[in-house]
Structure 1
Amino acid sequence: MLNFVFISPHFPSNYYLFCRALKNNGVNVLGIADTHYDNLSPELKEALSDYYQVPSLEDGDAVLRAVAWFTHKWGKIDWLESNNEYWLIQDAWLRTMFHIDTGPMLNDMEKFKRKSQMKILFNEAGVKTAPGEVVTTRENGLEFANKYGYPLIIKPDIGVGARGIYKIYNQDDLNRFFDKKPYEPYIMEVMVNGQVCSYDAILDSKGTPLYETGNITVISLVDVVNDNLDSVFMLLPEPAQDVLKAGRNTVKAFGVKNRMIHFEFFRLMEDQEGLGKKGDIVGLEVNMRPSGGISPDMMNYAGSIDIYRLWADMVCHDRIWLEEGRRTFVCPFVGLRDSQAYKLSHEDIMERYGHRIVKQGRVPDAMSGAMGNYYYIAQCLDREEADAFIAAVSERV
């Protein structure tokens, strides 16, 4: 029987489904988190074989002792995962300390976390990236700007999502950034006019994709957060062929295996010198964990699958089973803002699209910056129907 240590199984709240899928495969699921056992959901409690509360998951020594306790009680740990970007480095450190070879080790983290290193491996995969370099001083930034011109993007070399991203349109913007630049390393890049699309996959022990899907971000996350726009993206039953090719080549270049991954690319919206023609694929970043938020559930809606079970089947059997003849859909997400007025009321939307909507509700305040305040998720028969749904639901007065 496999012993699987799951870090932070209670957050995000849907992650108990990973634990339940493991249990249903006969795995001992050993949870570590910093919340009291009584505060865990009944569903999570049922999925766990054992639980260890630490004062804080930020306390690496305490988490190390928890894994040691499980090793003493249950024997060798076969897997250790959080499936969470925030704990990726700590996960790797713990695997390295306990010789758990089913996931990335600490020496993999530079290429998995630093955007400057990702560019090197994208290049090995044959995927172009925007010119960029780590800048530590104002002089570095000015030199880069003089070489490539504006507009530019500055973002943390280690970071995810829209946090800490700055758009630089001129030297005044650049000076304002360096006047308050945080201590952490930042990378400066040529701004790409492209639509973000992703390659998402479950990979087996050899790095072979067992299941592939992807999304299209209709409105970029940076613009959603910075400009308080509606959040609009869609899950596809499978990515476009050029995204599939880029994704698979990137998997090989990074040597990643035994996990779910979320790789992001740009599709150029116009010809861009040094990058390519309109429609070409350009590398953005790799994320060595599942796509965040509600995306795993949307994969289920788009593919008529149980992504949590497929992942657990990979862990336990190094393969998956898909139902033959299953229906697939294009699955749009539209997150609306309380501060905006829309042509269709909630009642109008439900009357017109209720037969397509599979989930809707309030977005937690902590996530509303990136996802809006009220969301609708639909199962549409094709891209045309999905685009029409997005246009109608998000049309403003």
Structure 2
Amino acid sequence: MNFVFFSPHFPSTGTEFCDRLKKAGATVLGIGDAPYDSLDPCLKAALSEYYRIPDMDNYDQTYRAMGHFIHKWGRIDRFESLNEHWLDLEAGIRTDFNIWGIRLDYVQNIKKKSRMRAAFRKAGVNVIAQKKTSERTGALDFISRVGYPIVVKPDSGAGAAHTYKISTPEELDEFFRIKPEGVSFVMEEFIDGLVGTFDGLVNRDGEIVFAASTRYDDSIMDVVNNNKHMSYTCLPEIELAVEEAGRKIVEAFDLKERFFHIELFETKAGKIIALEVNIRPPGGYMTDAINYSFDIDIYAEWANMVVKNQVGGPFKGKYYTAYASRKDHIRYLHSHGDVLAAHGDKIVRHNSIEKIFSRAMGNYAYQLRSTDSKALRHAVEYIQATEA
């Protein structure tokens, strides 16, 4: 298999994926904008060739890089970045070069939040009341039906950028004052609940071959907009209602040979409501949390699924794995040394976060695991306890 990995150097997990692809038997070729000498040594070892382009948003440059690879290496079997930012570019390259995977005729179904609702309904999963509009008249019409508060977010895009909770007419006025031009928005009713995920791998036959679930302790929208710290926990077992909804969504979207990351609201009354689907690994350190919870190498499982259409297993969750971040501007009650002394037996990783990710992920983060969920919760609260 000739596998072209687009942007293998960023984010850093690309190194892990490329390394496992090579170990699974693929010839791994990279396209990126970073100088070759700046690449991680492990990534260099995984790549049979690296083609540097000045502008990764320039389709023609990527097209020429692909022409070079085909001339030198023959047919390209896969083109991936595992990054939502490049969905359109990936689909265009696959379409133009007849490469297996999602093509241009389908990509908007998994990119635009307004189109996801049709598949959620097809799956028989509860959906959020929503209206696609970037105009004040449309917003007022929607609010007249669902009332305040509402959530406003870009129709296309990952993460919580330009996502706002609007609770008053004054906040609505402020949104229309600051909203960026040329961005299409959707407006949704506000759901009082927490987000849980259904994450995993679906093979090229459409069979889910691995699944896990994570629960957030707070809204990512609030974390980003209010510059708060965040925490979440990867669970050793998946709630039945979450798994039932997630499996229906994977089938409705007809996903094949992909990671999937499905976000679902769970209301205080226990109702499951579909939020969005992403065809990529879960973000941040959630992929590593899966490894810690299940004692597996999900990077290798993905690579073997892609190259050989097979995975290991059976997979069984063993631990609760928590992520707890800190923000530099917040004064914490316990020092880093205190944290290591009090909970070092549970900490499996701790490190600073790249600035580009810090608004959501924090400036410093700890990952912890335990078979005791209460002890883990206590550790997270200890890490994030603030001075009065």
Shorter-chain TM-score: which interval?
over 0.9
In structure 2, how many angstroms separate the alpha carbons of the residues matched to 1:34 and 1:287? 25
Matches of 2:65 and 2:343 in 1, distance apart? 49
Question: Which residue does the alignment assign to 2:336?
Answer: 346
Indicate whether 1:134 and 2:125 are aligned: no
Q: 1:339: how far off? A: 2.1
Map residues 94-243 of structure 1 onto 2, 5 A cutoff. Answer: 94-101=93-100, 103-182=101-180, 183-243=182-242
Q: Which of 284, 300, 306 is residue 309 of structure 1 equivalent to?
A: 300
2 CA distance for matches of 1:51 and 1:342?
44
The alpha-carbon deviation at position 386 of structure 1 amounts to 2.1
The reply to whether residue 361 of structure 1 matches residue 351 of structure 2 is: yes
Rate the CA distance shift 1:327–1:132 in 2: closer, same or farther, 3 A.
closer
Query: Residue 283 of structure 1 aligns with which residue?
Result: 274
Cα deviation digits, residues 299-329 of structure 1 (max 9, x gap): 11111000110000101121101377x7721
Task: Map Cα deviations across residues 16-38 of structure 1 (whole Å, 9 max, x no partner).
Answer: 11111111111100111112212
What is residue 250 of structure 1 aligned with on the other side?
249
Contact 1:305 1:322 in 2 (8 A): no
The count of corresponding residues between Structure 1 and Structure 2 is 386
Distance 2:178 2:232 in 1: 33
Return structure 1 stretches of 4+ with deviation > 6 angstroms: none
TM-score (norm 2): 0.96
Write the distance in 1 (CA, Å) between the matches of 2:192 and 2:278.
Answer: 21
Instruction: In structure 2, give the amino acid aligned to 1:301.
Output: Y
Deviations 1:93-145 (A, max 9, x none): 101111112x2111111110110111111111111111011113211111111
Question: Given the alignment of the two structures, is residue 385 of structure 1 paired with residue 384 of structure 2, yes or no?
Answer: no
Q: Which residue of 2 aligns with 1:272?
A: none
2:289 to 281, 292, 298: 298
Q: Which residue of 2 aligns with 1:93?
A: 92
Instruction: Give 1:123's aligned amino acid.
Output: R
Contact 1:212–1:238 (Cα < 8 Å) also in 2: no
Contact 2:85 2:157 survives alignment (8 Å): no
Q: Secondary structure at the match of 1:87?
A: helix
Tell me how far apart the structure 2 counterparts of residues 343 and 137 of structure 1 sit (CA, whole Å). 45
Change in 2 beyond 3 A, CA 1:125/1:73: same
> Could you say what secondary structure the match of 2:337 adopts?
helix
Counterpart Cα distance in 2 of 1:237 and 1:107: 37
Equivalence for 2:83: 84
Secondary structure of 2:370 counterpart? coil
One-letter amino acid of the structure 2 residue matched with residue 155 of structure 1: K
Report whether the alignment pairs 1:64 with 2:63.
Answer: yes
Report the 3-state secondary structure (helix = DSSP H, G, I; strand = E; otherwise coil) of the residue aligned with 1:49: strand
TM-score (norm 1): 0.94
1:269-300 deviations in whole A, cap 9, x for unaligned? 2xxxxxxxx11111111111111122212211
Give the root-mean-square deviation of aligned CA atoms: 1.4
The 10-residue stretch of structure 1 (238-247 or 300-309) with the greater mean CA deviation from structure 2: 238-247
Taking the aligned partners of 1:117 and 1:340, their CA distance within structure 2 comes to 39
Partner Cα distance (1:365, 1:83) in 2:
21
2:374 equivalent to 1:376: no
Post-superposition Cα deviations, 1:338-390, rounded to whole Å, max 9, x if no partner, equal: 22222322222111111110101212222211112221111111322222221
CA distances 1:233-255 after superposition (whole Å, capped 9, x unpaired): 11123421111111110001111
Q: Retained in 1: the 8 A contact 2:92–2:103?
A: yes
Select 1:328's aligned residue among 318, 321, 328.
318
SS at match of 1:146: helix
Check conservation: 1:135, 1:185, Cα contact below 8 A. Answer: yes
Point out where structure 2 has 5 or more consecutive residues left out of the alignment.
none
The letter of the residue matching 2:147 is G
Inter-partner Cα distance in structure 2 for 1:97 and 1:172: 48
In the alignment, the residues of structure 2 paired with residue 390 and residue 366 of structure 1 have an alpha-carbon distance, to the nearest angstrom, of: 24
User: Is the contact made by 1:121 and 1:250 (CA closer than 8 Å) also made in structure 2?
Assistant: yes
- In the alignment, the residues of structure 2 paired with residue 130 and residue 327 of structure 1 have an alpha-carbon distance, to the nearest angstrom, of 31
Deviations 1:127-165 (A, max 9, x none): 111101111321111111112111111111112111011
Supply the distance in 2 between the matched residues of 1:50 and 1:340 (Cα, whole angstroms).
Answer: 44
Residues 174-208 of structure 1 deviation map (CA, whole Å, 9 limit, x = unaligned): 22222343321110111111101101011101221
Residues 203-244 of structure 1, C-alpha deviations (whole Å, 9 max, x = no match)? 101221111112111111111111121111111234211111
Rounded Cα–Cα distance in structure 2 between residues aligned with 1:153 and 1:342: 30
Match of 1:75 in 2: 74
* Percent of residue pairs bearing the same amino acid type: 38
Partner of 1:319 in structure 2? Answer: 310
